[in-house]
Every structure is written in C-alpha cells, then in structure tokens.
Chain A
Amino acid sequence: MDGRVDLVIVGSGPSSAQAAKAALGHGLSVAMVDAGYEDTKFALSIPDRPFDELRRTDPDQRRYFLGDGGSDEQRGEKKVGSQLTPPRQFIKRGVDRYLPIASSTFFPLQSLALGGLGAGWGAGTLTFEDFELAEAGLPARQLEPYYREVADDIGISGSRDADTAAMVLSLPVVQEPLELDSNAESILDTYRRRRDRLHSRGFSLGPSPAAILSARLSHGSSDRLPNSYHDMDFYSDHRKSVYRPRFTIEELQSHPGFQYRPGLLALRFNEAQEGVRLQCEDIATGSPVTIEGRALALGAGAINSARIVLSSVAPIGARVPLLCNSYNYTACLNLGMLGRPAADRRHSMSQLTGVLTEPGGGEADRTILSFYSYRSLMLFRLVREMPMPPFLGLEFARVMQTALTIVGTHHVDRHGPGKWLQLHRTGDGREVLAGHYEPSAVERAQSRRTLRRVLRTLWALRCLPVDVLSPAPGSSIHYAGTLPIHDDPSVPLRCARSGKLNGTRRVYLVDSASWAFLPAKGPTLTMMANARRVIAGVAGELRAPPPRPMC
C-alpha cells in the first residue's frame, strides 16, 4: 500500500474535524474523505449588516431570506430539513439520492455537506455529567481533558455562576458570556425572583453556554471575531463567530500531513493485512475510488457510519439499534415582554438553557429546555401556523413578536426493541437503509409527564404556552447508539470503549454511533471530545511497534 496515509477519516462534521486535528497533533498523516457540498450561492451575497437594517434597506434580501425560486418551506413541503433557511439548505443536498432511508416512523436529517450537520449546529455546548457518560459507556475521567482541548479550539462562551453551570458546563476555559437579548433578560429576571420555588420543582435556568465567540479567537491560520449581534446567525457565518467544523478543516488544509478529499461518497471498507481500504464513489463521475490507510476512523454520523459498517461487515438484514432524542417545541408568550420594545442587538441562537430534573436532582434524567427569541425567522412562518386569515394572523404576530419565545425540549433516549436500522439490497443491487423508531408505551407516558411539568414550569416563568408541537421522530437531529459500546468484544456490530469496532483490527468510531445512551443535552461537544479521546488511542496503537513474530 504505497502512498497510503496513517489514518483515513470519513466525514467532515464536528467529530471528524476534531479527530483530524488531534491526529495531526499526534504526528499522523490524515486523509479526510467527504462529499463536501458547500454553499456556493449565498455566502458572499449576504451583507454583514444587522437583520433589521437589511430588512429595511436591502432590495435583494428576498434572495437569501426566501431563496431562489422558493425553499421547500416556501412551497409548503414539510420535508426533513425544510426548516433550514435558504443559505443552509446545502446541508441536505444529495441526501435523498445518496443516503436514502426507507421509513414511515423515522425522519432524520443527514448531511453530505462540508462540516456535516455541524454546518447548521445551534452551537449549544453542554457537557455530560459523569453518570451520563457512564451510562453512555464513555470514561468520564478520560474525557475531561479532551473537553478542555475542544473548548480551547472552538471557543466557548458561558457563564460560570449560572444555576445550571454544574449540570451543563464543567469547563474551566470559557470566554465571557454573550449578551442576552431583552426577552431572555426578562425571563431570567422572573426566574431569579422565583428561584426558590422553581428549584423546589427541580428547575434551574441560566444563559446558554455556546460555541459562539464573545471575544476574538486566533490560533494558527484561524482568526475568528466576536459575535456582531446582527441576528443573522441562521443565515451567514460572517466573522466566523459561531463555530463551524469547516473552519477547522480550512485551518488544517495548510498542514503538510493533511489531505482533504471532497467529492467522494464512502461506501464500505475492507481490512487487509497491512491496513484498511475504503471504497468510495466519485460523486461527479460515478467511478470507484479506493483510499488506503493504516487505520480508518468513521465520523460520518451515527446513521451513516452504521450504513457503512452494515455494508462492510454485516450479513444482509442485520439490525443495529438506534437512539434519537425526542423533541417538542412550545411557542409561549413571555408576559413580561408583551407590548414592550426589544433591542435589535442580539444573536439568533439559544439564549437560555433550562434543566428540569426530579426534585432533589442526583442522577435522575435531565430534560433540557432551550429558550429562543423569535425575531429573524420572519413573520410569514408564524402566520402559516395560525388558523385565521393571513391579514389577521400578521397583526397577531406583530403584537406578539417581541414576547414570542420558542422553547425546545429534548428528552433522554435509551435503546429499545422498536428503534433500529437495517440495510436492505434492492433487486438492482442498490442498498437502502430502513429505519424504525417507536418508543415504548412507558417512554411515551414519561415524555407526556415531562411535558406537563415543562408547561407548568413555563407558567411559573410567566411564559404563557400557546402551542406545543411534536415533530416527527428524527427531527431533533441528535442521533447516536447505532454501534454501541459493549464489554464483550465478540459481539458483532458493537464496539469497545476505545472506539474500535468489534471484529476489526483498525476501524474506529469517532462519532456518537458508539454511545449506549443519549442524554437530553446536545451531543456535539461530547462527540468532539470523544473523537479526540479515540484518536489519542489510535495514535498510541499506530506508534506501537508491530508484535514480534512468534517462532
């Protein structure tokens, strides 16, 4: 295998980007295989100006706010990912064709974009607590330094004195917290006045820790600027304030040991005596391409990594389990802001994070609430949901606009018999992944109970719930557990704590496919930290001298 690299990494999402950076740091040569779709239409055409100013003055705003010819959402197509703004639509480009999923119960969002789903990440950076890591199968003590490395690399702003700090952010290295907008300030004021009562109900609230810069961050060739509070974070990456994996990959491209190989779709792998061969398809020509390395790291996302593994090592029809946080969002009116003007200076991501647990806390499951203020997503999206004539809906929306708060609620998820993926081959030899996601009756009842508690908590915060939406399973965009950690190395389609896939010599999982449990907290930060941990082990193994021949 002349010319092969030490490590082939599949995907360019948050885990893969961190895996590549860690591997180069350990002195390994890396080839990153990626479809690598990019936004070629919008990035340069969106002015770096505040949302309100653009709305008032830019005659070309329709192009990036609505998209050319209308986005899926414009056309009323409520497909997976249709909520993405036009400049983010590239995230799901090519997925229907190359990563099809046959399911009537599971509707995930996958990505073949440069940066993967991280190109649209909400930038929430909650750390898992030790008991959550333990249930996921991840070693808490080992992971701690890697959390810190990731925080140093991507830049995390957050408040250390918030009530939630102990439960959501145990990182010592953070930037100053971001400014809160008027709506979040108002909710936080209410919370502080009623803190004791809310604590007794098991609820804590604080500013969201986020991978959004509040101060300049430079390292290597990377130079990122603090957030401009233009409220355009759903549309553009100006100033690179909100972390995207693409920034890491751009930084690594100047490294002599790094090759970025876009335009390739990873299909399957096979192991030879001297390493791993990854078989890919050139997306432009359809021709086969083989990439060779001493080891392979799969970071294509829990679903797509499972697809590659099933295609490579499993008999047809083999099933793997699946984890996906169920998700609701509640539209509320914050009575404290009703009729009050709001400052335009704001960022678009989650402003506040709430943690709801059983009174007394301990190692009970956490439910995570993310509070967003609704401004730059435009009023027509609201009016669409109102059962009334649009001219009246618009007036309602204008009265409610500054008080409107969207609260996203994530619930924990555990494996169950109704949650799985399975690879089928069609008559013409194509492979199609089938998925099924059906929580048990006990889980559904628990979710309903939790949601009732969430609504009571929102009342106590003077947020009047007006509608609760429960999107189809998969819409949380948090997936994991398809090839989970298992202590017995002989069990197929499972992996060891080191991330090594059972039955292989040097194939590793660096994304959330290896987790045996999915807390309600956003998984991205932990995925990145775990990718660094796995790569440290891979580097040690590749550096180790080959075993002496027995004679």
Chain B
Amino acid sequence: MGLMARLRPTEREVYELACRETDPRYYSRFTPITRGFWFAILALVLLGLVTVVCTPFWALRVRR
C-alpha cells in the first residue's frame, strides 16, 4: 500500500461519514464554512498544521 493510500480514510470511515452526511440531524456539520477570504486562508493554514501533527499518529493505527 502506497503512503498516500495509507494516509487516506478507510472504507469504513468513509461509509460512516456518508451516513452522517445523509442524516438531517447532522446537517449543520456539513454546511460550507464561509466567513471571508482571509478567514478561509487562516482556516486552511491552521487545519494544515493540525493535520501535519495529527496524521502520523492517526496513520500508525492498525489499518485494514
């Protein structure tokens, strides 16, 4: 399994996400976040930093 494939969510995780996305009770968790250009840039940068920190730990889990 290549590195990128290993870092991607598992089928199970994607399926659970899809189920939540099609449940009206979770509607607000899937709506666009739109608070201006600079907010979006800042959000992407912060998310990127958090991702860089979190992903190695997350990827070390036993994957299917």
Mark A residues whose CB is within 8 Å of B: 55-59, 61-62, 65-66, 70, 74-76, 335, 338-342, 378-380, 383-390, 392-396, 398-403
Contact = CB atoms under 8 A, between A and B. Distances in A.
A398 B21 contact: no
B32 A398 contact: yes
B19 A388 contact: no
A65 B24 contact: no
A76 B14 CA distance: 9
Contacts of A57: 24
Given A61-B22, A392-B51, A380 B38 contact: no
27 contacts: A57-B24, A58-B24, A65-B21, A74-B18, A75-B11, A76-B14, A338-B41, A339-B41, A342-B34, A379-B21, A380-B18, A383-B14, A387-B4, A388-B51, A389-B51, A389-B55, A389-B58, A390-B13, A392-B51, A394-B30, A395-B43, A395-B47, A398-B31, A398-B32, A399-B47, A400-B44, A401-B32
Contacts of B32: 341-342, 398-399, 401-402
A384 B33 contact: no
Contacts of B1: none
A390 B18 CA distance: 11
A341 B33 CA distance: 8
A61 B40 contact: no
B63 interface: no
A342 B34 CA distance: 9
Contacts of B17: 379-380, 383, 390, 394
Interface of B: 3-4, 7-9, 11, 13-15, 17-19, 21-24, 27, 29-41, 43-44, 47, 50-51, 54-55, 58
A385 B35 CA distance: 25
Given A338-B41, A399-B33, A70 B15 contact: yes
B8 to A, nearest CB: 6
A61 B24 CA distance: 9
B44 A399 contact: yes
Contacts of A393: 9
Instruction: Tell me whether chain B's interface is mostly helix, strand or loop, or mixed.
Output: helix
A340 B37 CA distance: 7
A89 to B, nearest CB: 15
Given A56-B24, A339-B34, A340-B34, 16 more contacts: A66-B18, A66-B22, A70-B15, A74-B15, A75-B15, A76-B11, A339-B35, A340-B36, A379-B21, A384-B8, A387-B4, A389-B51, A390-B9, A392-B54, A396-B51, A401-B32
4 smallest A-B Cβ distances: which pairs? Answer: A339-B40, A387-B7, A76-B11, A380-B18
Contacts of B31: 398
A548 B14 CA distance: 71
Contacts of A342: 32, 34
B55 A387 contact: yes
Which of A338, A339, A400, A402 has most chain B Cβ within 10 Å? A339
A56 B54 contact: no
Contacts of B19: 62, 66
Contacts of B39: 339
B15 A398 contact: no
A324 B26 CA distance: 42
Nearest to A56: B27
A467 to B, nearest CB: 11
Contacts of A388: 7, 51, 54-55, 58
Contacts of A341: 32, 34
Given A341-B32, A379-B21, A396 B44 contact: yes
Contacts of B38: 339
A66 B22 CA distance: 8
A338 B34 CA distance: 8
Contacts of A398: 30-33
Which of A55, A61, A378 has most chain B Cβ within 10 Å? A55
B54 A389 contact: yes
A55 to B, nearest CB: 6
A66 B33 CA distance: 24
A64 to B, nearest CB: 9
A379 B33 CA distance: 13
Contact of B18 (A56, A378, A392, A401): A378
B31 to A, nearest CB: 7
A88 B35 CA distance: 35
B46 to A, nearest CB: 10
A379 B30 contact: yes
Nearest to B22: A62
Contacts of A65: 21-22
Contact of A386 (B8, B18, B40): B8
Which of A58, A342, A380 has most chain B Cβ within 10 Å? A380
